[in-house]
Amino acid sequence: MPGVTSLTYLQFQATYNILSFALAAMIFTALYLLVSQGRVLPRYRNALVVSATVCGIAAYHYWRIFDSFSDAYVASAGSPDDPASWVYNLEVGVGFNEGYRYVDWLLTVPLLLVETIAVLALGRVAQKALLTRLIPASALMIILGYPGEISTDMTTRLVWGTLSTIPFIYILYVLFVELSKSLARQPKDVRATVGRLRLLLLATWGVYPISYLFPVFGLEDGNSFMWRQIGYSIADVLAKCLYGLVIYKIARLKSFADSSAFAKEEGMN
């Protein structure tokens, strides 16, 4: 958040560690999904490739966020014998670049939509119709949220946050409805997992607006900054890594349902 000029030892360490955790999660989830392509039928591999791409893009941006944070806040006060007393001040002329998150989301959110649609294996016309509606809405959601993110004025933050929420709700509604409609077309063993995917979608995406609003909840600057970074990072890990692994599970189950020979080859029969 602009204007956060100092962090306590706890605030710095918590932010540093959560960014490191998110970076590692993105890297190794991307690698796992890439090497697991052969464990699903070809028609579902595109969903895994897209999911791995999402995590790979996020890993790059978390690396940039991590470096930006490490360079921006420097220990400049406190006792050498008592790290808990250290204060990390914003380096003059450096600053923490919040824009990396929004560039990441601008790239990865449309891809998350693509992987969700891809694993459902809808017809080409149905897929195109859905993506034509959802991808512009996702770009609009992120673009509208950014001016509020970088503003220190709470009214400005709320106005842009409210505008961003409109396409946000629209995306969640369309995805929830389409996932619900697809249940009847899914193999019996897949329905429960797709049902849980709907709940995971709502739960993980719901963390983002809560984190966005932390400055409005009356938290002090350092705590607001720390909890936003924690909230965004956890939401990203759930929405990209965990979501990708659930997509992989669905692709596996659908592969087994589509081909008994493949299921036998994978030791499932």
263, part of any domain: no
Give the CATH number of the domain where residue 180 resides: 1.20.1070.10
- Minimum mean pLDDT among 13-22, 85-94, 101-110: which range? 85-94
The reply to whether 59 falls in a domain is yes
pLDDT at residue 241 tops 80: yes
The tokens describing 220, both together, are: 């002090």
Residue 268 lies in a domain: no
Other beta carbons within 10 angstroms of residue 244's beta carbon come to: 25
Structure tokens at 99: 């824009």
In a domain, 266, yes or no: no
Residues 153-166 have a mean pLDDT of 88
Residue 134 lies in a domain: yes
Whole-number percent of the chain with pLDDT over 70: 91
Q: Note the pLDDT tens digit of each residue in 167-224.
A: 888 888 887 777 777 666 767 777 777 777 777 777 778 888 888 887 777 666 788 8
Predicted model pTM:
0.87
Q: Pick 266 or 87 by higher pLDDT.
A: 87
What are the helix (H) ranges across the chain?
9-35, 42-72, 99-119, 124-149, 154-182, 188-205, 207-212, 221-236, 243-258, 260-265
The length of the chain in residues reads: 269
Q: Evaluate whether residue 267 is within a structural domain.
A: no
Is the predicted pLDDT of residue 267 greater than 80, yes or no? no
- 3-state secondary structure (DSSP) of residue 7: strand
Chain-centre distance of CA 68, in angstroms?
19
User: Averaged over 64-90, what is the pLDDT?
Assistant: 83
Percentage of the chain beyond pLDDT 90 is 32
Question: What is the model's pLDDT at position 36?
Answer: 92
Mean per-residue pLDDT for 40-45? 88
Q: How far apart are CA 248 and CA 37, in angstroms?
A: 9
Query: How many domains would you assign to the chain?
Result: 1
Q: Which of 192, 149, 194, 191 is nearest to 175 (CA)?
A: 194
Q: Which domain holds residue 182?
A: 6-257
What's the pLDDT score for residue 27? Answer: 97
Distance CA 22, CA 238 (A): 10
pLDDT of 268 > 90? The answer is no
The whole-number pLDDT of residue 218 equals 67
Confidence of residue 3 (pLDDT cuts 50, 70, 90): low
What's the mean per-residue pLDDT of the chain? 85
Residue-level pLDDT at 61: 95
Q: pLDDT grade, residue 1 (50/70/90)?
A: very low
